Amino acid sequence: MSAQICGRAALLALRSVSVLAATAGTRSLTGTRSGTGGTGVLDGKVDRFGGVTVDVGDKLLSADIGEEEFRLLLRDSVRRWKAEGRVAVWLRVPVSHGRLLPAAASQGFAFHHARGDRATLSLWLGPGTCRLPDFATHQVGVAGAVLDESNGKVLVVQDKNKTKNAWKFPGGLSNPGENIGVTAVREVFEETGVRAEFRSLLSIRQQHNHPGAFGMSDMYLICRLSPLTFRINFCRLECLRCEWMEVGELARTGDTTPITSRVAKLLLYGFREGFDKVDLSMEELPAAYSGMFYQLYHRELPEAHRQP
């Protein structure tokens, strides 16, 4: 669902969140054949885990390279990488070079994942059992519980084309590279027309073997939002109904889902007793990777306890 087309989520082309170990390289490996740097080894990049990533394509190999020539080149490259103590090889092969896949398979490579116009194959070179991570084990869904603190009403929707027309918080799948607070704000606006701002994380649900996630695991997060606008203009392609409902009524009604009912009770408790008792606040912190940051969610830590 895009901002222009509110029915994107209805496409249900469920995306997964990649949880791969990073393979972004910092040093090049050079390799007398096409695609080598003069040493007979394929060009590649070494990552901080000791693996090598090779991007196969016209920039690396001649367009007319044959399967047997590539097999010999890959064989010699793997021998060199083993001698250098590399632990794994990631081979990224575009559709245009799909004819080279059998050659890679003959050298022990297996499919790891495919995205867009290329497949990524992997080969474990380290000792013992392969320790490379699986790909796309989870998908992430995010909902926004928009609570108007001036009157205690929360924004809810009923999805269209569901077997049960239960009240729930508006939400959808997080886009790759999208922070969960941004997802919640975007999905609320796309489904209801109401603009809101992120305040906190309220809950996390983990469910395995999810039917809607191709049998993989599903993470569903509900965020607390504050409304910036109040006029409802809901997406009729996705929603049957949308309204502001008393949070106490949502906590009591049987016309909702178990998770919505539980979080409504959490909202009601926070509304009455203070949101500091229920909120998981967000703080952006520097990551171990230079120049990168991450968002950490936890109960508020008193300033006196933040100092080392």
**Can you spell out the DSSP letters for 165-178?**
--EE--EEEPPTT-
What is the rounded CA–CA span in Å between residue 255 and residue 150? 25
b/e sequence 102-140, b meaning 16+ C-beta within 10 Å: ebbeebebeebeeeeebbbbbbbbbeeeeebeebbebbb
CATH code where residue 100 lies? 3.40.630.30
The answer to whether 92 and 118 have CB atoms below 8 angstroms apart is: yes
Q: Are residues 102 and 177 in the same domain?
A: no
Which of 11-15, 112-116, 244-248 has the highest mean predicted lDDT (pLDDT)? 244-248
One domain, residues 157 and 255: yes
Q: Do 114 and 203 share a structural domain?
A: no
DSSP-derived letter for residue 211 is G
From residue 308, give the alpha-carbon distance in Å to each of 39, 280, 294: 51, 22, 20
Domain for residue 87, yes or no?
yes
Is 41 found in the same domain as 105?
Answer: yes
Concatenating the DSSP letter of every residue in 115-158 gives: ETTEEEEEEE-SSSS--PPPS--EEEEEEEEEEETTTTEEEEEE
For residues 139 and 213, the answer to whether their CB atoms sit within 8 Å is yes
User: Do 141 and 113 share a structural domain?
Assistant: no
Pair (109, 177) in one structural domain:
no
Residue 45 lies in a domain: yes
Residues 35, 98 within the same domain:
yes
Residue 78 Cα distances to 26, 33, 104, 113, 228, angstroms: 19, 15, 11, 20, 58
Domain check: are 143 and 268 in the same one?
A: yes
CATH number of the domain encompassing residue 246: 3.90.79.10
Give CA–CA dist 304/306, Å, rounded. 6
Do 190 and 100 lie in one domain? The reply is no
Q: Does 14 fall in a domain?
A: no
Residue 308, Cβ density class (10 Å: 0-12 exposed, 13-18 middle, ≥19 buried): exposed
Apex CA 217: angle with CA 215 and CA 218, to 5°? 115
pTM of the model: 0.71
pLDDT tens per residue, range 22-47: 333 333 444 434 455 445 789 899 98
Lowest mean pLDDT among 85-99, 191-205, 290-304: 290-304
pLDDT at 163: 60
Between these two residues, 59 and 112, which has the higher pLDDT value? 112
pLDDT tier for residue 17 given thresholds of 50, 70 and 90 = very low
Residue pLDDT, tens place only, 219-239: 999 999 999 999 999 999 889
Q: Which one of 73, 101, 124 terminates a domain?
A: 124
Residue 262 has pLDDT above 90, yes or no: yes
Instruction: Give pLDDT, residue 58.
Output: 64
CA distances from 28 to 20, 35, 39, 53 (A): 21, 13, 13, 9
d(CA 132, CA 123): 9
Secondary structure class of 13 (helix, strand, coil): coil
- pLDDT at position 18, please? 33
**What's the domain range around 156?**
137-275
In the prediction, which pLDDT does 176 show?
A: 87
Q: What is the pLDDT of residue 29?
A: 41
Window from 4-18, 69-83, 271-285 with minimum mean pLDDT: 4-18
Q: Is 259 a member of any domain?
A: yes
User: In whole angstroms, what is the distance from residue 176 CA to residue 181 CA?
Assistant: 13
Q: What number is the average pLDDT over the span 270-297?
A: 91
Binned at pLDDT 50, 70 and 90, residue 60 comes out as confident
Domain membership flag for residue 110: yes
In terms of Cα–Cα distance, which of 235, 221, 241 is closest to 9? 235
Helices (H) and strands (E) in the chain, counts: 5, 15
Q: H helices within the chain, ranges in order?
A: 67-83, 101-106, 180-192, 247-252, 258-273
pLDDT category at 7 given cuts 50, 70, 90 is very low
Tell me: pLDDT of 15 over 50: no
Instruction: Tell me the residue type at 108.
Output: G
- Position 301 in a domain: no
In a domain, 304, yes or no: no
Return the pLDDT at 306: 74
> What pLDDT is recorded for position 269?
97
Domain boundary among 124, 150, 185: 124
Domain boundary among 124, 149, 172: 124
Q: Are residues 142 and 201 in the same domain?
A: yes
Tell me if 305 is assigned to some domain.
no
Is residue 101 located within the same domain as residue 221?
Answer: no
Same domain, 221 and 109: no
**Better-scored residue on pLDDT, 109 or 23:** 109
| Counted domains in the chain | 2
- What's residue 164's pLDDT? 72
